Amino acid sequence: MSSQVKERTRWAFLNFNALPPSAGLQDWAASQFISSFAEVNGVDICELDQIEKIFGHALNQFDRGPNKRLKTMDPVEFERRRASYLDELTKNPTEFAKCVAQHFSGEMGLGIVVVFDNVDKRSRDLQLAIFEAAQWFKDLTRALVLVNLRDSTFEAHRDEPPLDAFANAINCYVRPPRFAQVIRKRLELVLEVIPTKVAQQQEYTLSSGYRIRYPASRLGEFLLTLYLSLFDQHTLKVASALEALVARDVRRALGMFADILVSPHIPTNLITGTILTGGASRIQEFRIIRSLMRQRNKFYNGKSNYIRNIMDVDLDHNQPSNFLYADILEYLIRNRKFRIDFDQEGYATIGTLRKKMGVAGYDEEDVFSAIKTLVEWGLIEPESLIVEGLTDNDAVRMHATGFIHMRFFVERLEYLVGVTTDMRFASRHVAEEIGRIWSGQSHLPDLSKAATGKVLEHLKTYVQQEYERRCKRHAFYEEFGLGGRVLVRAIDRALVHFHSDRSPVDARR
């Protein structure tokens, strides 16, 4: 905006994350507009002169009305009634918002822009209700109203009320910035702030005991070098995986970058070497995966904020299985380009998923429970964004996080071996053997190569036997249990990689 337009524009922001569950949309929107308009534009709406200006038109009508003669006959009573009338006007949020807009827009000739913010984070039904309230608010205030709807909601209901009235109006899609771009921009901001916020000399200790001292002016440079070591062309696959794990959540992206930097599974010597060599000594892929899986714990315990064990088992299920999560994810992945139960591609209702998995031999109550768990983990997402209170009619689709689990992590040795420390097995023998290997290596930073091979062999044998057992018990599992088949093949490829020192992709080829 040009400086001239900026001077002639007033803004207000309505944060719908703060909408109380039982609030009336129109009254709440009007009240939030009043408070935000005052705060953003520095208007004291509690000051009497300002209030009289805002309600000038209404007060003029009062002065010319039935109370006109009272002004000369009984000035005190006139002022009392006038003050009471003004008080009633200020207590009516709808009338107050209307008069604020009329005063600043109509009388002062200013443009008013009202942003209905975080609407896309509400449920589908609430988004539609908010859009309808925005139409009402636009008519009330004659302001330019911006509403950010979720793209899936808009596409699915664009031909239905109330969105059908919006079909020929202005709409645009704003795509979130990529993970790498967010981090880079934040690092640029760090470079600007560093000189005024930290001590001039910084120091840290290597795992070898040596101390590194450096000027604070180089801190931003160090962070940028680490950033480049994670996201250059040599680490494209892991960079894509990191982006998928955080999806559109910028705060989560920043948190992940910070967790990688402070992880005890990335030696300080390696960080220093990466910095001193300008990123030439890159942090290996397996270390990045390990840092995200284990975070600050010695072993993976299933509580990672980023990486989940899709071979996990819920012991409360009627028929526990190591393949249930993977089979649900694989069904959604394979149908992500098709319209299943929704106008948008990739969405399937929970009821449909229960029936499909039921054909594969799963208990439908177990499927429903597994879907709720996958939603809580962030591997699949409901169209309504409602995490609690899901029903069979709610539509869900594959999230980028779930996709990267099934297409990237299950092919990584670090993931397959790492999850065995927090995995439930139907075979007591396999559980004891893997447990014995891990406990025997507990004094070391990680498993030896021989121990890693043994864990992977046990895992392969167990998963293969479980897959064959399910195929024998359920006639249609081989046809519909696609996730189990993916796991079996992924572990086979990981073993080829382990014994041949080739990448999983090369091994598959």
Distance CA 453, CA 247 (A): 33
pTM of the model: 0.74
Tokens representing 164 are: 């059908």
Q: Looking at the structure, do residues 108 and 206 belong to the same domain, yes or no?
A: no
| The pLDDT of residue 26 | 94
What CA–CA distance (Å, rounded) separates 307 from 324?
A: 17
CA atoms within 13 A on the CB side of 132: 12
307 part of a folded domain: no
Q: Is 10 left (phi over 0), alpha (psi -120 to 50) or beta?
A: beta
> Same structural domain for residues 452 and 402?
yes
Of 294, 262, 299, 332, the residue nearest 482 (C-alpha): 332
Tokens at 26, concatenated:
């129109």
- For residue 309, being part of any structural domain is answered with no
319 is a domain residue: no
Q: What is the pLDDT of residue 314?
A: 94
pLDDT for 67 equals 78
pLDDT of 152? 74
Q: Are residues 342 and 489 in the same domain?
A: yes
330 and 235 inside one domain: no
The pLDDT-based confidence of 323 (bands split at 50, 70, 90) is very high
The residues, any chain, with a CB within 8 Å of residue 326's CB and separated by 6 or more, are: 310, 311, 406, 483, 484, 486, 487
Q: Is pLDDT larger for residue 371 or for residue 48?
A: 371
- Tens digit of pLDDT for each residue in 339-375? 888 777 889 999 999 999 999 999 999 999 999 999 9
Beta strands in 246-376 (DSSP E): 348-349
Running DSSP on this structure, what letter comes out for residue 224?
H
Q: Distance between CA atoms of 174 and 449, rounded to whole angstroms?
A: 47
Does residue 136 share a domain with residue 48?
Answer: yes
Q: Would you call 175 helix, strand, or coil by DSSP?
A: coil
Task: Let me know if residue 251 belongs to a domain.
Answer: yes
pLDDT over threshold 90, residue 405: yes
Looking at residue 397, what is its pLDDT? 92
Question: Domain boundary at 107, 142, 166, which?
Answer: 166
Is the sign of the CA dihedral 371, 375, 381, 383 positive or negative?
positive
Could you please report the per-residue DSSP string of 303-314?
Answer: --SS---TT---
| 161 and 183 inside one domain | no
Query: Are 285 and 423 part of one and the same domain?
Result: no
Least confident window among 53-67, 109-123, 219-233, 446-460? 219-233
| Same domain assignment for residues 152 and 190 | no
Same domain membership, residue 188 and residue 138? no
For residue 423, give its domain range: 324-508
Measuring CA to CA, which residue among 23, 45, 29 is closest to residue 89? 45
Q: Tell me how many domains the chain contains.
A: 3
Cα(287)–Cα(299) distance, integer angstroms: 13
Any domain includes 70: yes
Rounded mean pLDDT, 298-303: 91
Q: Do residues 12 and 157 both lie within one domain?
A: yes
Mean pLDDT of the chain: 85
Give a yes or no: residue 332 inside a domain.
yes
Query: Based on the domain organization, do 134 and 255 belong to the same domain?
Result: no
pLDDT band at 508 (very low <50, low <70, confident <90, very high): very low
Domain end call among 294, 313, 340: 294
Question: What would the pLDDT profile of 266-292 be if each residue is shown by its tens digit?
Answer: 877 776 766 666 555 567 888 889 999
Of 143, 166, 189, the domain-final residue: 166
Query: Per 3-state DSSP, what percentage of the chain is helix, strand, and coil (rounded to 5)?
Result: 60, 5, 30
Let me know if residue 154 belongs to a domain.
yes
Mean pLDDT (whole number) for 30-50? 91
In the 8-state DSSP scheme, what is residue 23? -
Residue 121 domain-assigned (yes or no): yes
Please provide the size of the chain in residues: 509
155 and 34: one domain? yes
